[in-house]
């Protein structure tokens, strides 16, 4: 979604804001703008396209001032062009607003304002806010903002400035993430900490209904009744290097190659090898309550939903508890069966995905206990869940999720191990799984050491127009994930399918032009996928097989083979996903795609 950053201090604001926007660009990158308090009033500059376009547009004559707000956009209302870029300014030119979210009743509010003579210059819902605040303004900006927000339905993270109060930024949050950064004699507002990490690690996360008033001397937080709210200050433990590319051509490749370390970090201090057990300090649930759980719902979106499917199989196989996996966007609007003995596991890299957050709140409202598997520390899901497991995978900047996925599956395996051993899983079986988990980092490294093989494979298939990914059991979700990676960064149409399901339709797509990736580790269902590979080969499909050993039964039936180390069946998706991430990456690079910021996508989907 959109990215917001604001600055007030002694330094020239424009370069600070542009630098902050660049760090938020993964949130949305179709247009950008700044509004600077230049001593006379509010001066705005906007440009369609990437932030570099805005930067060059203002380079010759940058607005001058030590207070400003800025925005990078992911379009929801109105096409990505300069006219719809933020900030949006009120009719009297005094108030500027940047907004992340959706004003659901914008149409009716707009009609009311037009009836009062307001003329709209953009197609956005956000412009309604700038005019509404003007209508409510009576000398105090936060009061006017509160008055305007009382009329608004929908979600927002906003920052507002007014030339009548030249030393103040008012920020407000409902649904979209926003924080205040506390610097040394300077203050920031931002959608996430990466925008301001170069200047401070001290942040105040805003919650729904918070209004922050930030001035040169400090900040305070109000609620919508203008009552002061005390907020904790959190120290960010990420460092700048973690949000830099570190010499890699793309964040995605850096994050793929970080996986031996990130998987290690997810297990650090949690895996107890000798007992075949795991220790999870943040679950915040007693052993008795955990054992009283009689059904589990796992809800998520996108890649996180794929890891949920793997979690379902792990928990059902080893813990013998029924598990339902739910698309968060569907779960929140249907009438699901949830009881106080339901555990709702919520998976989200960003911890801010609107549908997943709403699904968690709905499960909670129906009495479930909630457990968040989240990467972003301090995110809304992490702050609102009953307990959680942080992934410790570090910041994930590339829009296509990679290291978060493998860490999500590892975190689900840790949770499964704990619950299964608490129930009736033998110590021997637990130890075998724990020891296999401990080997994952070196096994992933051994795959990365042969990335070139995948790069050559990508050369073969860079012009493909379609791809099919097949897997069985634990690797059906890995097939879905492989297909998603290719789709989202190379724009090639790809589908993941349970291998046996192929006969019921998709097999019609197969001919000598169709590459078919078959995930075929030597696991419990290997014999079955062998026959599916034969079915593909019989239709001249190009078979790319991910295998774990020499398979005489596959001789002459596969065109390309990539070997991955053998491990426990439930862990194979982790190893099988790495070559599929690389295949998608290299094909996208060879097609000249913007791998880190694929078209139409955003890293964290904070609107419905």
E strand or H helix that includes residue 266: helix 259-267
Q: Which x/- pattern over 287-316 shows residues binding ligand AGP (rule: CB under 6 A)?
A: --------------xxxx------------
Residue 191: CB minimum distance to ligand AGP, A:
14
User: At its nearest, how many Å lie between ligand AGP and the CB of residue 345?
Assistant: 13
Of 480, 567, 490, 489, the closest CA to residue 521 belongs to: 567
Contact 169, 189 (CB under 8 A): yes
- List 2, 344, 518, 593, catalytic entry: 2
Nearest-approach distance from CB 376 to ligand AGP, in angstroms: 8
Closest CA to 514 of 546, 488, 536: 536
Nearer to ligand AGP, 319 or 483 (CB): 483
- Quick one: which of 109, 382, 580, 605 contacts ligand AGP (CB under 6 A)? 605
Task: Scan residues 314-373 and list those touching ligand AGP (CB under 6 A).
Answer: 348-350, 353, 356
Number of residues near ligand AGP (by CB under 6 A)? 15
Residues in Cβ contact with 372 at an 8 Å cutoff, skipping those fewer than 6 apart? 345, 346, 347, 348, 351, 360, 381, 382, 385, 387, 388, 389
Q: What is the 3-state secondary structure (H, E, C) of 506-545?
A: HHHHCCCCCEEEEEECCCCCHHHHHHHHHHHHHCCCEEEE
Give the single-character DSSP code of 180: E
If the CB atoms of residues 456 and 600 are measured against ligand AGP, the closer one turns out to be 600
Biggest alpha carbon–alpha carbon distance for the chain:
81
In angstroms, what is the minimal distance from the CB of 390 to ligand AGP? 13
**Residue 344 annotated among the catalytic residues of the structure:** no
Torsion of the alpha carbons at 382, 384, 386 and 389, rounded to the nearest 10 = -10
Please say whether the beta carbons of 62 and 44 come within 8 A. Answer: no
Task: Compose the 366-405 pattern: x for residues touching ligand AGP by CB under 6 A, - for all others.
Answer: ---------------------------------xxx----
Q: Toward ligand AGP, which CB reaches closer, 148 or 576?
A: 576
Nearest distance from C-beta of residue 488 to ligand AGP, angstroms: 6
Residue keyed to tokens 């949305």: 28
Give dist(CA 325, CA 409) in Å, integer: 14
Selecting among 168, 174, 542, 603, the annotated active-site residue is 603
DSSP 554: G
Helices 302-319 + 403-423 axis angle, to 10: 20
Q: Answer yes or no: 603 catalytic.
A: yes
DSSP per-residue string spanning 294-347: -EEEEEE-HHHHHHHHHHHHHHHHHH---EEEEEHHHHTTS-----TTEEEEEE
369 HSE (CA, 13 A, CB side) = 19
Of 65 and 598, CB closest to ligand AGP: 598
Please report, as residue ranges, which positions from 8 to 47 form the binding site for ligand AGP (by CB under 6 A): none
Minimum Å distance from CB 303 to ligand AGP?
3
Of 38, 380, 604, 606, the one binding ligand AGP (CB under 6 A) is 604
CB atoms within 10 A of CB 216: 15
| Between 212 and 345, CB nearer to ligand AGP | 345
In the block, tokens 């598997």 appear at 373
* Position with the least CB separation from ligand AGP: 302
Is 581 an interacting residue with respect to ligand AGP (CB under 6 A)? no
Nearer to ligand AGP, 35 or 602 (CB): 602
CB of 381 to ligand AGP, least distance (A): 8
Residue closer to ligand AGP (CB basis): 312 or 488: 488
**What dihedral angle (degrees, nearest 10) is formed by the CA atoms of 73, 607, 154, 91?**
10
Minimum distance from residue 356 beta carbon to ligand AGP (Å): 5
Residues that bind ligand AGP (CB under 6 A): 301-304, 348-350, 353, 356, 399-401, 488, 604-605
User: Catalytic residue numbers?
Assistant: 2, 603
């Amino acid at each position: 979604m959109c990215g917001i950053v604001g600055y007030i201090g002694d330094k020239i604001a424009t370069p600070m804001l542009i630098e902050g926007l660049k760090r938020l660009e993964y949130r949305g990158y179709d247009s950008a703008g700044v509004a600077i308090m230049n001593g006379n009033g509010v001066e705005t500059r906007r440009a369609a396209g990437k932030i570099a376009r805005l930067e060059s547009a203002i380079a010759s004559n940058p607005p001058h001032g030590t207070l400003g707000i800025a925005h990078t956009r992911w379009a929801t209302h109105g096409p990505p062009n300069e006219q719809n870029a933020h900030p949006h300014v009120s009719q009297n030119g005094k108030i500027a607003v940047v907004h992340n979210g959706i004003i659901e009743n914008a149409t009716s509010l707009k009609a009311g304002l037009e009836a009062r003579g307001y003329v709209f210059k953009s197609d956005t819902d956000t412009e309604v806010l700038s005019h509404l605040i003007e209508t409510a303004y009576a000398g105090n900006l936060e009061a006017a903002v509160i008055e305007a927000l009382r009329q608004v339905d929908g979600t927002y993270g906003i920052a507002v400035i007014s030339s009548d109060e030249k030393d103040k930024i008012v920020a407000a949050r409902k649904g979209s993430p926003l924080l205040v950064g506390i610097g040394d004699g300077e203050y920031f507002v931002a959608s996430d900490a990466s925008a301001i990490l170069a200047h401070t690690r001290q942040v105040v996360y805003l919650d729904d209904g918070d209004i922050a008033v930030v001035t040169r001397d400090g900040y305070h937080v109000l609620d919508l009744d203008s009552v002061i709210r005390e907020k904790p200050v959190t120290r960010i433990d990420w460092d700048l290097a973690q949000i830099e590319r570190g010499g890699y051509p793309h964040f995605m490749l850096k994050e793929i190659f970080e996986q031996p370390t990130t998987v290690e970090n997810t297990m650090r201090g949690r895996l107890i090898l000798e007992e075949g057990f795991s220790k999870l300090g943040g679950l915040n649930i007693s052993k008795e309550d955990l054992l009283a759980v009689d059904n589990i719902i796992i809800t998520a979106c996108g890649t996180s939903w794929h890891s949920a499917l793997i979690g379902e199989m792990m928990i059902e196989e080893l813990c013998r508890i029924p598990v339902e996996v739910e698309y968060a966007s569907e779960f929140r609007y249907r009438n699901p069966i949830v009881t106080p003995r339901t555990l709702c596991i919520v998976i989200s890299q960003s911890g801010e995905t609107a549908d997943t957050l709403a699904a968690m709140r709905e499960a909670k409202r129906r009495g479930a206990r909630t457990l968040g598997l989240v990467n972003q520390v301090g995110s809304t899901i992490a702050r609102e869940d009953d307990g959680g497991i942080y992934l410790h995978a570090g910041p994930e900047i590339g829009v296509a999720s990679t290291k978060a996925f493998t860490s999500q599956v590892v975190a689900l395996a840790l949770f499964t191990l704990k619950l299964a051993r608490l129930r009736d899983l033998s110590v021997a079986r637990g130890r075998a799984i724990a020891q296999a988990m401990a080997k994952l980092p070196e096994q992933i490294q051994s795959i990365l050491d042969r990335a070139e093989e995948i790069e050559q494979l990508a050369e073969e298939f860079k012009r493909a127009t379609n791809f099919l990914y097949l897997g069985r059991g634990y690797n059906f979700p890995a097939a879905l994930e492989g297909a998603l990676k290719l789709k989202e960064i190379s724009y090639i149409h790809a589908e993941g399918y349970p291998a046996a399901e192929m006969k019921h339709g998709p097999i019609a797509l197969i001919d000598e032009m169709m590459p078919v990736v078959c995930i075929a580790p030597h696991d419990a269902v290997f014999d079955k996928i062998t026959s599916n590979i034969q079915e593909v080969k019989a239709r001249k499909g190009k078979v790319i097989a991910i295998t774990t050993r020499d398979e005489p039964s596959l001789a002459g039936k596969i065109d390309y083979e990539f070997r991955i180390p053998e491990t426990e069946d439930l862990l194979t998706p982790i190893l099988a996903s790495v070559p599929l991430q690389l295949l998608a990456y290299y094909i996208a690079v060879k097609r000249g795609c913007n791998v880190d910021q694929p078209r139409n996508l955003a890293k964290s989907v904070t609107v419905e």
